Chain A
Amino acid sequence: MDRMEQRAFDAVVRVLAGIALLILTAPTVIVIITSFTDGNTLKFPPSSYSLRWYVELLESTQLQRVTIRSLWIAAIATLVATVLGTAAALAIARSKAGWARALDALFMSPLIVPWIAIGLSILMFLNLMGVPLSPFTLIAGHVIICIPFVMRTTIASLLQLPASLLESSASLGAGKFYSFRRITLPLISRGIGAGAFLSFIASFDNVPISLFLADARSQVLPIRMWQMLQADLDVRVASISAVLIVLTLIVMTVMERMVGLSRQMVR
């Protein structure tokens, strides 16, 4: 009786987990197959295959320009978020004081606050202050949403740092900055690395912030793709998507080797 119940339970778990895995992975596979279509529509499966939509990408200088701009913006936003986020994490990670907990909640809140609210409110604020939109304001908006990703992994790795190490370093006469550079930083670098990677992705893929803060001169890739989906279904979106998926896959594998990405994301 128990045996049968156990078997039934295992079957239910397996079927539902299977459906979940299918829903998670099928879209990725389908996008890659579609990108090799020879047709002008998103028919699946395609009737014949070719590389024409990749050739189109190579010929589309405007898309390339937008992509390069997105990469730059994500890189700068990540750099700023990583430096400011790590500094703030050092200040608040071990503190139990009320102000530190409050700031921690504030810095983590962009994870929960709808990004569209952040984008719209920054736009209104800049507008009333008479500050024109520029790449700087766009990057500032991106930094806000990147911060939680950096802080979460950095604080987690700071909390795992054995206090005794810093004590011995201090008792042996090492200065604060020296201890930070030689002990703290190397030990939390995996946390910082994982946070920086997640923050780069968050900025590079962001639509809701850029929608409000990117002007015509600083258009970014996800917005361009969103417009291509809204207008008429441009098959180039399939080849761009496939390129992005493959790049993500490569960087993700590298990050898994270097910083143990998956373990940091489960935490």
Chain B
Amino acid sequence: MHAKPAQFGLAQRTPRIPRGEWQLVLPLGALFLVFFVLPLGLLFLISLFSDASMTRLGLNQYVEMFSSALSVQILRDTLWLGVQSTVVCAVLGFPLALAYCRASPRWQPLLIFLIILPQLTSAVVRTFAWIVILGREGIVNSTLMQLGIIADPLSLLYTNFGVVLALAQIQLPLMVLPLINTLMRIEPNVIEASTVLGAGAFRTFWKITLPLSTPGLIAGSLLVFTTSVGAFVTQSVIGGGRLMYMPEYIYQLSIGAQNWPFAAAMTMFLLVTVLLTVVLFTWLGRKSMKHVEA
């Protein structure tokens, strides 16, 4: 970025672009050090104590976590929940993003409004809505009973299906927005060329549209997965007492049982999972970028 030579010799010294002063980062850096970096470091240290009163060091918490049937099940259920909600969001979000990009400019503002509004509504409010929908007297049960399909109300709340559905609604915008962003950048001629050359619509989608939009798909999946495994409110309210996932278990261990080392070890597992997901998806993203460029 070289400055163009000044005309008329007004400024002999090449004007420098006033760069942001690096010192401006200090206040935020200090805040992050005290309220983010140090606490997370301490969390790791606490996870290394073998007893709840924190007197002896050892890896007991991690051994306990991977050997107790309850905690292994919670870890597995939480990760599986993340995978399920990511897949649902991708399967529903991709068509929605495609529909948005094809919609006439008159409809686009309304569509984007409908996509963004839920994301800006409180997670508690959205979770509450699903209680109304899935509850014993909710719309699903009353419709099915009126149609005579079922005699007694189904219990849809406190089921894995209910949690996945509620999570899908809450996380869908996180998938759709990055997808719209990448889909809008694909040259329409590429898709036209494919159709002109005789590739069918499905083939064009699999061979052209999908590969070209992988960066958006990866960015969206990363956000959906990481927020789904950490979604405290939806998991605890729709899951109820019957289903337990990592965030609520961590809350009960730390605040209820006051077992800090075990809660810390569980949180470390959640953090490492998320970190590994980021590494995996970034790697996939790089690969797909090369693929796109090639």
Contact = CB atoms under 8 A, between A and B. Distances in A.
Q: Do these two chains really belong together in a complex? A: yes
A147 interface: yes
B52 to A, nearest CB: 13
Interface residues on chain A, size class: 35 or more
A226 B126 CA distance: 11
A91 interface: yes
A262 B28 contact: no
A24 interface: yes
Q: Is the interface of A mostly helix, strand, loop or mixed?
A: helix
A89 B58 CA distance: 41
Given A2-B198, A30-B139, A114-B274, A124 B39 contact: yes
A73 B74 CA distance: 34
Nearest to A117: B267
B130 A27 contact: yes
28 contacts: A5-B202, A6-B195, A9-B200, A10-B201, A26-B133, A27-B132, A30-B129, A42-B135, A42-B138, A43-B142, A45-B142, A88-B25, A91-B24, A106-B37, A112-B222, A115-B232, A120-B264, A143-B35, A166-B18, A168-B15, A179-B18, A208-B233, A222-B123, A225-B128, A229-B131, A230-B236, A252-B113, A266-B177
Contact of A120 (B113, B124, B250): B250
A207 interface: yes
B35 A122 contact: yes
Contacts of A31: 125, 128-129, 132
Q: Is the interface of B mostly helix, strand, loop or mixed?
A: helix
Interface string B109-123: 101111111111111
Max chain A CB contacts within 10 Å: which of B37, B38, B115, B120? B120
A216 interface: no
A121 interface: yes
Interface in B124-181: 124-133, 135, 137-139, 142, 165, 168-169, 172-173, 176-177, 180-181
Contacts of B21: 90-91, 176
A124 B130 contact: no
Contacts, number: 307
A85 B28 contact: yes
Closest 9 pairs (CB-CB, A-B): A114-B230, A27-B129, A9-B201, A16-B95, A121-B39, A171-B15, A90-B20, A17-B99, A125-B39
A208 B271 CA distance: 15
Given A113-B274, A244-B125, A92 B137 contact: no
Contacts of B17: 94, 163, 166-167, 170
Contacts of A38: none
Nearest to A262: B112
Contacts of B40: 113, 117-118, 121
A94 B129 CA distance: 43
A237 B113 CA distance: 24
Given A41-B137, A112-B274, A107 B233 contact: no
Contacts of A244: 121-122, 125
B117 A249 contact: yes
Interface of A: 1-2, 5-6, 8-10, 12-17, 19-21, 23-28, 30-31, 34, 41-45, 84-85, 87-95, 100, 103, 106-107, 110-118, 120-125, 128, 140-141, 143-144, 147, 163-164, 166-171, 176, 179, 198, 201, 204-205, 207-208, 211-212, 222, 225-226, 229-230, 233, 237-238, 241, 244-245, 248-249, 252, 256, 261-262, 265-267
B128 A237 contact: yes
A121 B251 CA distance: 12
B226 A23 contact: no
B118 A25 contact: yes
B27 A252 contact: no
Contacts of B139: 30, 44-45
Given A30-B133, A144-B35, A208-B233, 5 more contacts: A41-B137, A84-B28, A91-B21, A117-B40, A117-B271
A140 B35 contact: yes
A63 to B, nearest CB: 13
